[in-house]
Every structure is written in C-alpha cells, then in structure tokens.
C-alpha cells in the first residue's frame, strides 16, 4: 500500500460504458457448457460446497498416482489441497497424452525470430523432457532442489520447466530480457543450484548476449554449481570448465528414459517473481496439485480448447501467464501450443498477423499493451493478412480500455471471436474473473464473472461490502486450490500483504466495482487511486476516456499534490503514429475527457511523451510517473523497468 493504510472511502466510478455483446451463436453451439444457466448452476454449487466441487474437478481432469485423504486444510494462513495424494505434473502434461491418440499430435510449434520453425509432437517433447531430467539428475539434483531458467523463448525453456517437474526440482524462470542484476537477485533469493541459459537470443534483429549476462550474475551468487547452455545464436561465449555444459553435448550422454516421480500435492513447483509494477518483485511459491488443477480447468473452460486448435499465448514463460497458459494449462489439456521467440514488430510490424495466417492460429491470448501498440501502428498491418483461422481472443495483464477491446474485436476478431478478458495475478496462479466464451455476454473493459469456486467480493476498509456499484477493494472470500502458498522465505509478508489487510479475505491490491448485472470492472491498482476533492478515482476510467480520443494511443494518469483539491491529475500521453502535437491538442483532450466522464476528471497537466515507462511485461509503471510528477526525482525500485531511456526523456521534458 502507498501509505500503509487503507483509505476509508470507496472508489468513485465515472465511466459510462454501456455496450454489451451477446455471445456468438456459432461459437456457442460447440462450447462445452450449454448456456449461461449451466454456468450459474455449476458456479453456485462450487461456492456452496467448494471441497466437493474441486474434488470432482481434480478427479475428472488430472491423473493422480495416489488419491487424497482429505481435500483441504487452512491453518495459520497455510493452505493444503488434496492432502495425502501424489501426482506428477510432467506426467499429466506428457505421459498421459503419449499413452493416447495424441502421441503424434503437435504439442509445440515454435517459430524463431529469424523465421526458423520447429515442431515437437507429444512423443518428441516427452523424449526431450526425459533426457533433460536425466541431465539434472546426473548433476546431482533431487526433489526440492532449485533450478533457474534464464532463456530466450525457445523450446528448451519449456523442456527445462517440464524436466524439473518430472523429478520435483523447483524452477524459477527469470525473463530472458532481464539484466544480470535481476537474475542475480532472483538466484540469491531462491538459492538455485543450477542455471539453464543460452548463448544468446534474437530480439529485434540483434542478438541479446544471455550467457555473458548470466556470467556476470554468477560472479555474485554462490549457490549455482552448474550451467547448462543452449546453443541458439552461436555467439562466442566463455564456458567455465567444471561448471558450464553445452546442452547439446551433455544431453547426448544421457539415458533416454526417466520415469516421472510421484510428488505430494503440496510439493513446491515453482517460485516466480511478480512483474514489479507496484514495487520490488515478490517471489511467489506455487505447489503441485492445486496449481495444475487451476491451470488445467481454466484453460479448458475459458479458452475452449478443441483437439484441432492452434493455441497461442504470446506471453514469455518468464511471467505467470507463460507458466499457466503457454506451458502447464495447454499441455495438460493436450493442446497444440504455438510459441514465438522474438519481437512482435520484427522485421515488419505485421509479424504477429503473418504468423497467425501461416500457422492457422485459432486462439490468440495477449496483453492490452500489445493491442494498444498495434492500434498505434495502424490497421494496415493486420488487414494485410488472412486472420480467418482465429476463433477466440484473450487478454490479460492490465485493464483493457474499452476502445482497445472494440478494436481487438473488430479488426482482429472480425466480430466473430469471443473476447476473453482474464483478470488474475501471479499470486492467484490462474484466471479468476473472466467470461466463459460463447455463453456470456461481454462488455468492453469488464472481466465479467468469476471462475468456478472463486468468490470475489468488493469491500471497504472495515470489511463491509461496497453497496450497489460502489467501487472498493477487490478481495477473494476463501482460499482456492491454485493460489500461491507463500512468499518464498517470508511467510509473514505473505500473511500481511494478502490476508491481513482485510482480515479473513485475500486482498488483491486492485480496485473494482460491480455493475447491476453483477459484472466485475477492474478500476486499477489501489495504490494508484487519485483523490480529487474527496473523490477517489481509479486510473483505468480516466485513461480509457482519454484513449477514446482519436489522436491518443496510450495514456497514464497519476495524482500530484494540489493545495485546493488534495490531488490534481497529471496525464502522460502518447499519440498514434500518424498524429502530431499541435497547439490546440491539450485543450481538445482536456475537453474530451471532461465530456466523456465529467469535470472531476479534468487533467491539471497534460504531458506528451514518446513512450510510457513500463515493466518488462508491458505494464505501465504509474508509481514512477507519480514520483516524477510530484518531486521530479525517481527514487523507487526501477529494476523491472523495460527501457531506461524512457525515464531519461521524461526527466528532460520535466526540466524544460
């Protein structure tokens, strides 16, 4: 929390978004649930008796080696699900498909940035995973040990993750775009014994020297005994004798078979650090059975996985979205995953659309930041390609502004693909609030309804429920199977951050409100709420109103102290590529926002910028803009910032 204190008052909602889209009939006909009432019935029973519900889901969707004694225990803020059972994640993602008709089905279709393509059938992926697990074993790793994965988005990243799960090694994937310092911090925090990396990775046509960065990180870490290096770019790299091993050489020496070992339901699966949007990243620990169950069933119901789908979640495996929806969710469902190594606009801004057309991608799951940047570039790029294979579109990571939603629906989905806006967090493990496609009407900017077994509530500080469509703190009523069990090494912080803010509820840190039909609208981070003349405004609504302006591509609003109003609004704005700043534009934008949502939201200051500061997963870092607008200096944690030059440019402007 910004002030370590929750404010008494609620969050005011100003945005009037009344558009509503009924489910597409053709889509509905083939969807797993018959209609909305079926969802409602299932949802109600999942809330009435969650143990019974999850037990049934687990028995239906996962393979356990040994059944559980009891379903759930919650003591001292420690959750246990499926107690006494054993299972193995790689068994669920691979063996069970290899033992079925899916044996020769493509598990992974991968395209590198230079255009090289590789396909792995389930059988092939299974073989590679077993060999990789044997590499780990031969280096002395046993269940409970930790491995860091710092790689480009290449098949070996997925293989290494699955190999860890095969023998119970806990992985921590560090996004390949992070610097050596971030890698070092994460290795130190989690105490990894081994590091998977690559010589380099391709990004925007150049080579990122990953091994060099890894070497630097390892100068200040003491726990890593070995480094396994994939040859990707053929960079010249230093291989430290006795420590560093080439993947292709060392794997050739391994036995081909490695049985999946039975692990208890609560066996630690991975540690993953949050995006760092609001502060220093936290290492969340997820465990085996509950996490896999969440990833599996949310993928099945929300993305309507069919045998013939080519499913593409554009996230890097360094983020939770990549864990749950590039690797574990789709593979557990036996889907065909598409993966792309490089930048979305390389060599041309149409790269995404070209690949969708080339590989006949059916499902695209991406982030609002990507959608906004495509809008900024112009429609000619998607319009050049045949996107008719697409049948479902998803979004995650930030609130999607209604205008971006409409563009996604029209220009990419051609008004025939359901838009599945999924709200969730690293902590929640998998999707929590999202439309069940085909049976739920959608509203641009609303993540709609909760997933089965999840009971979101909007609360005020005292724990009472917000009334009507009043905005408040989005909380979750009870523990659920796929939530993080702790912050690695700091259970007190876990308790305090998530369960003590409003006693007895999981505290998400996001603000939200519910409309008359019960739909949930995420209004932005609680930390980012702006207090104007006693009215507390979420950032999402003001930004969405601004983005509706025809010249604007992106907008971030923050508050700064104001002697009269308490806080004034500062709007940082990027324009569409085709637009230029002119003398009327500020006034015009200001009027536009006032007309859209009211005088209260009138910006006190509008600043044009070429880019906004974002995390490496593409989220706007309002806290840095707030510091800049308030004090002109930035002291907060910037380790997750994507591009430091953005800050420099903003600072220069500030000094003008």
Interface contacts to ligand ATP, rule CB under 6 A = 274-279, 281, 320, 396-399, 421-426, 447, 508-510, 522, 525, 617, 619
Tell me, letter by letter, the H, E, C secondary structure of 207-223. EECHHHHHHHHHCCCCC
Q: Strand ranges (DSSP E) for 204-349?
A: 206-208, 226-230, 244-246, 263-264, 268-273, 283-287, 310-313, 336-340
Tokens linked to 279? 């502060």
Span of 146-154, 177-185, 268-276, 486-494 interacting with Mg ion by CB under 5 A: 268-276
CA distance 471 to 536: 9
Span of 17-25, 162-170, 273-281, 567-575 interacting with Mg ion by CB under 5 A: 273-281
Report the residue number, 150 or 424, with the smaller CB distance to ligand ATP.
424
Tokens linked to 415? 């008004």
Report the residue number, 10 or 274, with the smaller CB distance to ligand ATP.
274
Report the residue number, 166 or 282, with the smaller CB distance to ligand ATP.
282
Give me the least distance between CB of 277 and Mg ion, in Å please: 6
Containing 605, the helix (H) or strand (E) segment is: strand 605-608
DSSP H helical ranges for 333-482: 351-359, 368-377, 380-383, 402-407
Q: What does 16-81 look like in DSSP terms, one character per residue?
A: -----BPPPHHHHHTSSS--HHHHHHHHHHHHHSHHHHHHHHHHHH---SB--SEEEEEETTEEEE
Length of the chain: 656
Give me the least distance between CB of 325 and Mg ion, in Å please: 17
Give me the least distance between CB of 398 and Mg ion, in Å please: 11
DSSP 3-state assignment of 206? strand
Give me the least distance between CB of 454 and Mg ion, in Å please: 17
Residue 218 CB: number of other CB atoms within 10 A?
Answer: 21
Residues in the annotated binding site: 203-206, 321, 397-399, 421-426, 510, 525, 533, 536, 547, 549, 552
Which does residue 570 touch among ligand ATP, Mg ion, none (CB within 5 to 8 A, set by kind)? none
Instruction: Specify whether the CB–CB gap between 187 and 215 falls below 8 A.
Output: no
Report the residue number, 24 or 544, with the smaller CB distance to ligand ATP.
544
Tokens linked to 172? 């921590």
Give me the least distance between CB of 445 and Mg ion, in Å please: 20
Tokens linked to 285? 């620990």
Give me the least distance between CB of 622 and ligand ATP, in Å please: 11
Which does residue 281 touch among Mg ion, ligand ATP, none (CB within 5 to 8 A, set by kind)? ligand ATP
Report the residue number, 204 or 493, with the smaller CB distance to ligand ATP.
493
Q: Which of 299, 328, 289, 324 is nearest to 59 (CA)?
A: 289
Residues in the annotated binding site for CoA: 203-206, 321, 533
CA distance 324 to 316: 11
Q: Which residue has the closest beta carbon to Mg ion?
A: 274
Give me the least distance between CB of 33 and ligand ATP, in Å please: 21
Which does residue 362 touch among Mg ion, ligand ATP, none (CB within 5 to 8 A, set by kind)? none
Q: Which of 267, 112, 72, 321 is nearest to 203 (CA)?
A: 112
Give the residues across from 12 on adjacent strands. Answer: 537
Report the residue number, 274 or 449, with the smaller CB distance to ligand ATP.
274
Which does residue 90 touch among ligand ATP, Mg ion, none (CB within 5 to 8 A, set by kind)? none
Tokens linked to 303? 């993305």
Q: Which of 365, 371, 387, 354 is nearest to 311 (CA)?
A: 365
CA distance 315 to 297: 19
Give me the least distance between CB of 304 and ligand ATP, in Å please: 18
Residues in the annotated binding site for ATP: 397-399, 421-426, 510, 525, 536
Which does residue 422 touch among Mg ion, ligand ATP, none (CB within 5 to 8 A, set by kind)? ligand ATP
Give me the least distance between CB of 627 and Mg ion, in Å please: 18
Which does residue 399 touch among ligand ATP, Mg ion, none (CB within 5 to 8 A, set by kind)? ligand ATP
Which does residue 403 touch among Mg ion, ligand ATP, none (CB within 5 to 8 A, set by kind)? none
Span of 274-282, 411-419, 442-450, 465-473 interacting with Mg ion by CB under 5 A: 274-282
Which does residue 423 touch among Mg ion, ligand ATP, none (CB within 5 to 8 A, set by kind)? ligand ATP
Residues in the annotated binding site for Mg(2+): 547, 549, 552
How many residues form the binding site for Mg ion (CB under 5 A)? 1
Containing 571, the helix (H) or strand (E) segment is: strand 566-575
Report the residue number, 367 or 589, with the smaller CB distance to ligand ATP.
367
The Cα-based distances of 493 to 189, 460, 501, 504, 506 in angstroms read: 15, 22, 11, 16, 13
Site string for Mg ion, 77-96 (x = CB under 5 A): --------------------
Which does residue 421 touch among Mg ion, ligand ATP, none (CB within 5 to 8 A, set by kind)? ligand ATP
Q: Which of 473, 499, 503, 500 is nearest to 485 (CA)?
A: 499
Q: Which residues bind Mg ion (CB under 5 A)?
A: 274
């Amino acid at each position: 929390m910004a002030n370590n204190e929750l404010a008494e008052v609620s969050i005011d909602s100003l945005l009037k978004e009344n558009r509503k889209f009924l489910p597409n009939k053709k889509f509905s006909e083939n969807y797993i649930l018959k209609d909305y009432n079926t969802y409602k019935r299932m949802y109600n029973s999942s809330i009435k008796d969650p143990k019974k519900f999850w037990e049934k889901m687990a028995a239906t969707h996962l393979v356990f080696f040994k059944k559980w004694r009891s379903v759930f225990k919650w003591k001292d803020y420690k959750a246990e699900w499926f107690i006494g059972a054993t299972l193995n994640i790689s068994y669920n993602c691979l063996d069970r498909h290899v033992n079925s008709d899916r044996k020769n089905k493509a598990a992974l279709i991968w395209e590198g940035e230079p255009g090289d393509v590789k396909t792995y059938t389930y059988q092939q992926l299974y073989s590679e995973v077993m060999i990789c697990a044997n590499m780990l074993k031969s280096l002395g790793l046993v269940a409970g040990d930790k491995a860091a994965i710092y790689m480009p988005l290449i098949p070996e990243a997925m293989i290494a993750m699955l190999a860890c799960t095969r023998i119970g090694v806990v992985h921590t994937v560090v996004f390949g775009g992070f610097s050596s310092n971030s890698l070092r911090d994460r290795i130190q925090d989690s105490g990894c014994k081994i590091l998977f990396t690559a010589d380099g990775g391709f990004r925007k046509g150049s080579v990122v020297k990953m091994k060099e960065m890894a070497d630097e990180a390892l100068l200040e870490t003491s726990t890593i005994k070995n480094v396994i290096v994939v040859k990707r770019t053929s960079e010249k790299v230093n291989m430290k004798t006795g420590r560093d091993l080439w993947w292709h050489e060392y794997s050739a020496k391994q036995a081909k078979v490695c049985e999946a070992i039975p692990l208890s339901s609560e066996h630690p699966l991975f540690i993953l650090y949050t995006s760092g949007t609001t502060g220093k990243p936290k290492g969340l620990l997820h465990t085996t059975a509950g996490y896999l169950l969440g990833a599996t069933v949310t993928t099945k119901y929300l993305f309507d996985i069919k045998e013939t789908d080519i499913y593409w979640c554009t996230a890097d495996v360094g983020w939770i979205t990549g864990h749950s929806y590039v690797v574990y969710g789709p593979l557990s469902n036996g889907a065909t995953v598409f993966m792309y190594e490089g930048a979305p606009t390389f060599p041309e801004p149409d790269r995404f659309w070209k690949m969708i057309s080339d590989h006949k991608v059916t499902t695209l799951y991406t982030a609002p930041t990507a959608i906004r940047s495509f809008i900024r570039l112009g429609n000619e790029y998607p319009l050049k390609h045949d996107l008719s294979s697409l049948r479902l579109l998803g979004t995650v990571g930030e609130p999607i502004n209604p205008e971006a939603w409409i563009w996604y629906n029209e220009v990419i989905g051609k008004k025939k693909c359901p838009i599945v806006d999924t709200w969730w967090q690293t902590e929640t493990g998998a999707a929590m609030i999202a439309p069940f496609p085909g049976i739920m009407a959608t509203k641009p900017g609303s993540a709609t309804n909760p997933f089965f077994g999840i009971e979101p509530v909007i609360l005020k500080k005292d724990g009472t429920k917000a009334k009507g469509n009043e905005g408040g703190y989005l909380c979750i009523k009870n523990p659920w199977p796929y939530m993080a069990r702790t912050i690695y090494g700091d259970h007190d912080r876990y308790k305090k951050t998530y369960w003590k803010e409003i006693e007895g509820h999981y505290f998400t840190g996001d603000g939200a409100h519910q409309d008359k039909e019960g739909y949930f609208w995420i209004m932005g981070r609680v930390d980012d709420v702006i207090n104007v003349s006693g009215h507390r405004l979420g950032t999402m609504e003001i930004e969405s109103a601004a983005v509706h302006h025809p010249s604007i591509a992106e907008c971030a609003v923050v508050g700064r102290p104001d002697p009269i109003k308490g806080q004034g609004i500062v709007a940082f704005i990027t324009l569409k590529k085709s637009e230029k700043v002119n003398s009327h534009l500020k006034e015009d934008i200001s009027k536009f926002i006032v007309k859209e949502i009211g005088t209260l939201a009138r910006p006190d200051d509008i600043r044009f910028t070429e880019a906004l500061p974002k995390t490496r997963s593409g989220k706007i870092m309002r806290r840095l803009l707030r510091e800049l607008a308030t004090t002109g200096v930035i002291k907060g944690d910037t380790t997750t910032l994507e591009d430091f030059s953005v800050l420099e440019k903003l600072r220069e402007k500030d000094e003008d």
